[in-house]
C-alpha cells in the first residue's frame, strides 16, 4: 500500500486527509516514483484554497505539492529515459504530497528530471520551484556579469535561490530585502541585506542604483521601489501574480526550466536551507507554517524511505 495527502474540496488545511492507496502500476511511457522528500511551497496552500481554480481546475480528490525527489521503482512499456533505481526530481503538475506517484516520462510533459548525484533528495526536492523560478526571473531581466541586482523577499525560498544564481551569473552586488533576523543568512550568501518596511526607500538610496530587480515578495513597496530605481520595465520582474502589470511584469517560466537551472548550478556551491521537516501525516502543520511566513528557507515533507 501507499499513502497520499488529499482534499475533496477547496478550503483550509482542515480539508486535508491522509489516504491509503494501492501502489500504482505504470502505463505506457510512465514510471512510478517513490518519493523521499517533497517540497512545501506557498503555491500549495494557494492551490488548496482554490486561488488557481479558474485557470487550473483540479479533478477531486486532488492533492497539494508541485515538487518532490525520489527513486524510480517501476517502469512502464516504452520508457527509455529512466530505469528502476534512477534518482529523479518531479516538478510541475500538483499532487506530490504522497509516497508513490505515477509520472509521465514524455519530454513534452516536462515532469521528470534526473537528479544530479551531488544533491541529497532533500535538496533536490526543493530545487524546482525556488531555483527554477529564480532562474527564469534572472533570465527575464537579463542579469549580466558585473551588474547590480535588487531582490525583494531575498530570505524566502525563491529569494535565496535568486541571490545565489545571480552570483553564478556574475552579479557584482546583490541587495536583498528581508527581516532583520534573516540578514546574517543573506550575508553568508554574499548579499547585502536591507530591512523592508518604513524607510526602505531611504535605506536603498545609500547604495548604487541596481541594474535590475526581482520581486519575490509582492505588495506595493517592492513594486514602487522597482519602478523608482529602474527605468526599463524589461529589467523588472515579479514572481507574485497579484503584483504584476506592464510596469513590473510577471515571471515567464522558460521551457525546460529545471534542466537549464541545473546546468547553470553545475558543481558550483548552491544550497537552500531547510528550516522545517515534517512527515506526510503532518502536511497540514507544514502548510500552516508556510502560510504564516518567516520560514527563512524551505520546508520539506520526508517520507522516511
Ligand atoms: N509565479 C511563480 O511561478 C512563483 C513561483 C514561486 C513562488 N511564487 C510566489 O512568490 C512568493 C514567494 O515565494 P517563496 O516560496 O519565496 O515564499 P517564502 O519562502 O515564504 O518567502 C517570502 C519572502 O517574502 C519576504 N517578505 C514578507 N513580507 C515582505 C515585505 N513586506 N517586503 C519584502 N519582503 C517581504 C519574507 O521575508 P522575511 O521572512 O525575512 O520576513 C521572505 O523573504 C509567494 O507568493 C509564492 O506563491 C510564484
- Is 184 domain-assigned? yes
Instruction: Tell me the per-residue pLDDT of 195-213, one tens digit each, with 9 for 90 and over.
Output: 999 999 999 999 999 999 9
User: Do 110 and 144 share a domain, yes or no?
Assistant: no
Helix axes 133-140, 157-168, angle to 10 degrees: 50
Q: What is the CATH number of the domain that holds 288?
A: 3.90.180.10
* Residue 28 maps to a domain: yes
Determine the Cα angle at 16 with ends 96 and 89, to 5°.
Answer: 10
- The grid coordinates of residue 153 equal 523577499
Alpha helices, H only, 66-132: 121-125, 127
Under a CB-based contact definition with an 8 Å cutoff, are residues 175 and 210 in contact? yes
pLDDT of res. 3: 97
Q: How far is the CA of 91 from the centre of ligand 1 (A)?
A: 19
- Examine the domain organization and report whether 154 and 88 are in the same domain: no
User: Is the confidence at residue 294, as pLDDT, over 90?
Assistant: yes
Residue 92 lies inside a defined structural domain of this protein: yes
The pLDDT assigned to 159 comes to: 98
Q: Do 110 and 148 belong together in one domain?
A: no
Is residue 261 included in any domain, yes or no?
no
Average pLDDT over residues 210-226: 97
Q: Is 42 in the pocket of ligand 1 (CB under 6 A)?
A: yes
User: Is 106 contained in some domain?
Assistant: yes
Contact indicator for 191, 151 with CB cutoff of 8 Å: yes
What does the pLDDT look like over 34-66, one tens digit per residue? 999 999 999 999 999 999 999 989 999 999 999
Same domain, residue pair 84 and 178: no
The Cα–Cα gap between 147 and 125 comes to 30
Calculate the average pLDDT of the chain: 97
- Record the cell numbers describing residue 64, joined without a space: 497539494
* pLDDT score at 305: 72
Please indicate whether residue 178, judged by its CB atom, sits closer than 6 Å to ligand 1: yes
Helix (H, G, I), strand (E, B) or coil at 66: coil
Contact predicate 159/215, CB 8 Å: no
- Are the C-beta atoms of residues 75 and 83 closer than 8 Å to each other? yes
Residue 143 phi, psi (nearest 5): -60, 130
Query: Residues for the chain: how many in total?
Result: 305
CB of 76 closer than 6 A to ligand 1? Answer: no
On whether both 141 and 177 belong to a single domain, the answer is: yes
Residue 37 is assigned to a structural domain of this protein: yes
End-to-end CA distance of the chain: 14
Instruction: Supply the pLDDT for residue 224.
Output: 97
pLDDT tens, residue by residue, 157-186: 999 999 999 999 999 999 999 999 999 999
Say if residue 112's pLDDT is above 90. yes
Same structural domain, 197 and 283: no
Whether 284 has a pLDDT exceeding 80, the answer reads yes
Nearest CA, atom 19, ligand 1: 156
Which range marks the domain in which residue 81 is found?
2-126+272-302
Please tell me the total count of domains within the chain.
2
Q: Are residues 122 and 17 in the same domain?
A: yes
Cβ–ligand 1 distance for 126 under 6 Å, the answer no
Amino acid at each position: 500500500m501507499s499513502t497520499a495527502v488529499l482534499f475533496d474540496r477547496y478550503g483550509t488545511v482542515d480539508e486535508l486527509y491522509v489516504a491509503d492507496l494501492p501502489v500504482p502500476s505504470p502505463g505506457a511511457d510512465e514510471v512510478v516514483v517513490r518519493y523521499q522528500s517533497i517540497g512545501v511551497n506557498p503555491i500549495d496552500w494557494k492551490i488548496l484554497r482554490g486561488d488557481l481554480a479558474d485557470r487550473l481546475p483540479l479533478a477531486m480528490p486532488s492533492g497539494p505539492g508541485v515538487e518532490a525527489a525520489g527513486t524510480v521503482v517501476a517502469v512502464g512499456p516504452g520508457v527509455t529515459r529512466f530505469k528502476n533505481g534512477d534518482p529523479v526530481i518531479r516538478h510541475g503538475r500538483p499532487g506530490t504530497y504522497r509516497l508513490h506517484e505515477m509520472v509521465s516520462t514524455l519530454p513534452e510533459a516536462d515532469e521528470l528530471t534526473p537528479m544530479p548525484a551531488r544533491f541529497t533528495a532533500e535538496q533536490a526536492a526543493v530545487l524546482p520551484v525556488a531555483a527554477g523560478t529564480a532562474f527564469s526571473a534572472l533570465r527575464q531581466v537579463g542579469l549580466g556579469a558585473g551588474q547590480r541586482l535588487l531582490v525583494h523577499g531575498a530570505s524566502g525560498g525563491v529569494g535565496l535561490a535568486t541571490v545565489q544564481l545571480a552570483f553564478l551569473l556574475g552579479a557584482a552586488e546583490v541587495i536583498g530585502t528581508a527581516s532583520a533576523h534573516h540578514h546574517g543568512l543573506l550575508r553568508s550568501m554574499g548579499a547585502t541585506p536591507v530591512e523592508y518596511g518604513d524607510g526602505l526607500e531611504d535605506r536603498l538610496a545609500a547604495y548604487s542604483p541596481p541594474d535590475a530587480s526581482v520581486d519575490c515578495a509582492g505588495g506595493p513597496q517592492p513594486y514602487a521601489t522597482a519602478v523608482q530605481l529602474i527605468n526599463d520595465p524589461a529589467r523588472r520582474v515579479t514572481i507574485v501574480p497579484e503584483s504584476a502589470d506592464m510596469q513590473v511584469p510577471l515571471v515567464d517560466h522558460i521551457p525546460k526550466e529545471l534542466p537549464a537551472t541545473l546546468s547553470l548550478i553545475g558543481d558550483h556551491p548552491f544550497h537552500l536551507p531547510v528550516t522545517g521537516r515534517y512527515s506526510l501525516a503532518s502536511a497540514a502543520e507544514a502548510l500552516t507554517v508556510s502560510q504564516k511566513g518567516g520560514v527563512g528557507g524551505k520546508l520539506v515533507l520526508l517520507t522516511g524511505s
